[in-house]
Structure 1
Amino acid sequence: MAVHDFSEELIQQGIELAQTKNSETYSPYSHFAVSAALYLNDRGLFVPGVNIENRSFGGTICAERAALASAISNFGSKDFGFLVLYTEHEPLTPPCGICRQVLAEFCGPEFPVIMVNHKGQRRDMLFSELFPLPFDEF
């Protein structure tokens, strides 16, 4: 059963963009390159993001948050369709906890997250499966 209604052609465009951008990460400390492609429904385009590490690990920006920040700052868009994450590692890499919480601010439970790697392994999940209990009230 599909977890989204996006065409496979569109998903493949996102995968190809994320894969291409993977060589642009800055990950000299962990050597764990992650790239993302965030689809903007209202613009009909993808915004890429890559992880950018820092010696002070708390200053590291993950690919997911880089894409989200770029979408908002460059396009004013918060109408996100789906997210593709690409790594050259096994097993497939889901968003970290901080990214899940940040995504929860903008993405509903039905938001698709598509994880892929260099071996062509892929898993499509709903955001609610990745993060069933976000902190969303205070």
Structure 2
Amino acid sequence: MAEKRKTLFVRALTADDVGTLFDIAAAVGSDEIAALTEDPAISAAVARISSGKGKNSFREVGAVAVAKVIAIVIRNYSKCEPQLKKLLASLTGTTAEEIGQSSPAYYAALLRELATTKEIRDFLRSCCRLQNPRRNNRIF
């Protein structure tokens, strides 16, 4: 079973995972995720970066954005559960069924690991730029 692995992921996200990431975004509501570019907390941190007053704001923006994406996924979990299990199975070299049979703690650790990877942050940043290419503000 997947829980016996010492490392959570055996590989990094790749372009082959983008389809599943898009499936997850579509299931949870891509408009809701895209709306993060207009979020007041994120906009305020971006403004601090632009003014030169926010040395830690990049980290703050990323943390706020990741927390908000996680909240969106949690609210819509039943819509994206199969896609999440498929992605986690692919990343860990297991099956979606094995992911589903793992302990809640292990599953939560996998989700936390996925949500905080550089690849996810880069993917979300790129998607937000595609959504609103005229804005130069970085939210992730």
Q: TM-score, normalised by structure 2?
A: 0.28
More strand by share: 1
Structure with more contact order per residue of length (Cα contacts < 8 Å, sep ≥ 6):
2
Larger radius of gyration: 2
